Structure 1
Amino acid sequence: MRFIHTADWQLGKPFGRFDAATRTALTEARFDAIDAIARAAAEHEAGHVLVAGDVFDTEGPDERTVIQAATRMERYACRWWLLPGNHDFARNGGLWDRVRKRGVANVTVLAQPEPHEIADGIWLLPAPLLHRHTRDDPTESFDRMETPGATLRIGLAHGSIRDFGTQGEAPNLIAPDRAARSKLDYLALGDWHGLLCVDARCWYSGTPETDRFGRDEPGQCLLVDVAPGALPVVTPLRTGRYQWLQRDWTVADAIDFAALCDDLLTACEPAATLLRLSLSGIVPLTDRVAMLARTEDDLSHRLRFLDVRDGDVVTRPTEQDLAALSTEGMIGKVAAMLRTKIEEGGADAHHARRALERLFVETLKAQESAA
């Protein structure tokens, strides 16, 4: 059995922190990811696409979002299996009734925890979420699901195998040994937005279109091959258009900054890159101006989106600034010692100069805070 495992499409996500043009681009990219998944299924002859929850960003998306999702899936020959997640949980008279009313023959909504024989002897065991949060393991029902004549049992669920950085008891927790406990050949999970292998039979596919900074890899889906008595073969396939990069650069001058910019632009597709850039360092005033010009007049126009945080970049003090450091107290003593090291030259002179500049900057910050 060969199928595609995907999750966390979150169609209709608003991206409210971005400008209008970027919001539109990111919104459309999530719809386009459906086409990318379908093309991957066709190319690799996978007849089924399992979507492990959060197809939509909310339980009440607008009509355009529902119609776009249904009509895009309808175009392709593969069979789509949609699981309600915590963002789009199942309830009577809600979102999933609207999806069913579209009457798309190759789309099945898995709103009940009931097994489906999707091919001869191959059973799909879904664990839909009926509420946004539950304290019970949504996959416990797998143990009770009857799958007569099964040669393969494939689980589909949405939740956390472990607490991904949240405080306290996380909702929708799934037993880490669920695949073995419920005798599953593969457990397709959603909720975690990055690719993650829990064990050989249990994977998170991540989102097909990245939606947050800090993950360099673009969105993807998983091509899964399963056979009775064998471990699944799982292959990530790129589906995402955009990369969301986060970089922290410490710079000494405009030349240093320009080199980092050039390396970044060479390594990515600029028009498909969103960048959150944090800068720090002590630079000459003219270099500070040159760096600002590079970001405003070049980078911001090449990249899809640029967010520069440069509050930790300070202008290098002049000789008069350094001479003005207080001669009283510990700061004055340290400043005098560093000036002596600088005047003596030698291997430590460069480091002493940088330390004196940092001392000036920190002293200036302390004075401003006190004022």
Structure 2
Amino acid sequence: MRFIHTADWQLGKPFGRFDADTRAALTEARFDAIDAIGRAAVEQGAGHVLVAGDVFDTEGPDDRTIVQAVTRMARHDCRWWLLPGNHDFARNGGLWDRVRRRGAGNVTVLAEARPHEIEDGAWLLPAPLIHRHTLDDPTQAFERMETPGARLRIGVGHGSIRDFGTQGEAKNLIAPDRARRSNLDYLALGDWHGMLTVDARTWYSGTPETDRFGRDEPGHCLVVDAQPGAAPVVTPLRTGRFQWLTRDWTVADAVGFSALCGDLLAGCEPAATLLQLSLAGIVPLTDRVAMLRRIEDDLMHQLRHLDVRDADVVARPSEDDLAALSTEGMLGRAGAMLRERIEANGPDAQRARRALERLFVEALREETLAGENAA
């Protein structure tokens, strides 16, 4: 039997830290991932899609989010099985009743812990969450589920096999040998947003559209070939549009920085890339200014989103830089005062360096404007 395992769609996620255009693009990409999964199911000959929890980001999404989800699933020739997770847990009169009212014939909500025979002899064992957090193993009920004539037992749950630290859930802990204990041929899990193998029969699919920094890979779903008495064959399939990259660069000059930028842009699709960039190093002041210009005038416009952290870049003015500020007037006097504080290496020396850098930028701007006016 071939099916698709996916999880953690987080539909309706607000992405509040981004500008309006980026928020809209990220929101739409999560809906588009449903179509990517549906197309994959048809192309791969998978009749069922198991969604292992957190279909929605909250238990109270707006109507558009629900309608988009249901209508997009409805237009693909496969069966969708939706498990309530910790973000969208099952409760009477809540979210899942709203989903059912949309009436898509190929969408089933797994709001009760009871097995479903989804094909002849192939049983699906769900472990829905009815609270956001539970102290019990939500998949323990598998041991009590009867599956007469089963040739395949497939579990679907949502929780943590182990403590994933600050990026995972501390509750809803699942026994690491759940597949063995409950005689499962495959255990489809959600909660961890990156693809992860626990053992040959237990997998996290990760989210189909990456939603945070720290994971360079785009989102995936898993195509699973399960057969009685043998380990399943699991094949990752890309579904995500966006990449969320994290880079830490140590720079020495503008030439090296430009080369790193070129390599980055050549190795990704810039318009579909969000970058969190941390810079460190000691560079000449003119190079620091050139780097800032490359960021503000080029990199920021090519990428979908850019977050630069450059507090650890120390700009040291060269003798030529200092001479450029040794002029008459206000800029010259300010530059001389800041150089004195830097050379004294007192408690405000670092602040003086930053101020001198800014002053140098302003001086260059004055020169540029003067040249443009003269032309």
Give the TM-score, by structure 1 length. Answer: 0.86
Q: 1:169 to 1:6 in 2, by over 3 A?
A: closer
- 1:201 correspondence with 2:201: yes
- 1:236 equivalent in structure 2: 236
Q: 1:17 to 1:224 in 2, by over 3 A?
A: same
Q: For residues 168 and 226 of structure 2, what CA distance do their matches in structure 1 show?
A: 36
- 1:16 equivalent in structure 2: 16
> How far 1:314 moved relative to its partner?
1.3
Identity %: 79
> Aligned Cα RMSD in Å?
2.1
5 Å-filtered alignment, 1:340-351, equals none
Q: For residues 314 and 245 of structure 2, what CA distance do their matches in structure 1 show?
A: 24
Contact 2:11 2:56 in 1 (8 A): yes
> How far 1:368 moved relative to its partner?
5.3
> How far 1:367 moved relative to its partner?
5.0
Contact 2:159 2:169 in 1 (8 A): no
State the AA in 1 paired with 2:116: H
Contact 1:314 1:361 in 2 (8 A): no
Q: For residues 226 and 155 of structure 1, what CA distance do their matches in structure 2 show?
A: 12
> How far 1:366 moved relative to its partner?
7.1
Unaligned runs of 5+ in 1: 322-359
- 1:347 equivalent in structure 2: none
> How far 1:168 moved relative to its partner?
12
SS of the aligned residue for 2:11 comes to coil
Contact 2:169 2:191 in 1 (8 A): no
State the AA in 1 paired with 2:224: V
- 1:65 equivalent in structure 2: 65
> How far 1:172 moved relative to its partner?
0.2
State the AA in 2 paired with 1:33: A
Q: For residues 255 and 200 of structure 1, what CA distance do their matches in structure 2 show?
A: 48
Contact 1:121 1:149 in 2 (8 A): yes
> How far 1:364 moved relative to its partner?
5.9
Q: For residues 165 and 229 of structure 1, what CA distance do their matches in structure 2 show?
A: 35
Q: For residues 271 and 5 of structure 1, what CA distance do their matches in structure 2 show?
A: 28
> How far 1:130 moved relative to its partner?
0.1
Q: For residues 194 and 38 of structure 2, what CA distance do their matches in structure 1 show?
A: 20
> How far 1:81 moved relative to its partner?
0.1
Unaligned runs of 5+ in 2: 322-341, 352-375
- 1:100 equivalent in structure 2: 100
Per-residue CA deviation, residues 93-148 of structure 1 (Å, 9 max, x unaligned), is 00000000001000000000000000000000000000000000000000000000
Q: For residues 204 and 37 of structure 2, what CA distance do their matches in structure 1 show?
A: 16
- 1:291 equivalent in structure 2: 291
Q: For residues 48 and 299 of structure 1, what CA distance do their matches in structure 2 show?
A: 42
- 1:143 correspondence with 2:160: no
- 2:34 equivalent in structure 1: 34
Q: 1:8 to 1:168 in 2, by over 3 A?
A: closer
SS of the aligned residue for 2:165 comes to coil
SS of the aligned residue for 2:39 comes to helix
Q: 1:271 to 1:365 in 2, by over 3 A?
A: farther
Q: For residues 168 and 244 of structure 2, what CA distance do their matches in structure 1 show?
A: 29
Give the TM-score, by structure 2 length. Answer: 0.86
5 Å-filtered alignment, 1:278-317, equals 278-317=278-317
- 1:86 equivalent in structure 2: 86
> How far 1:203 moved relative to its partner?
0.1
Q: 1:368 to 1:267 in 2, by over 3 A?
A: closer
Contact 2:168 2:191 in 1 (8 A): no
SS of the aligned residue for 1:86 comes to coil
Greater Cα offset, 279-288 or 44-53: 279-288
Q: For residues 133 and 366 of structure 1, what CA distance do their matches in structure 2 show?
A: 49
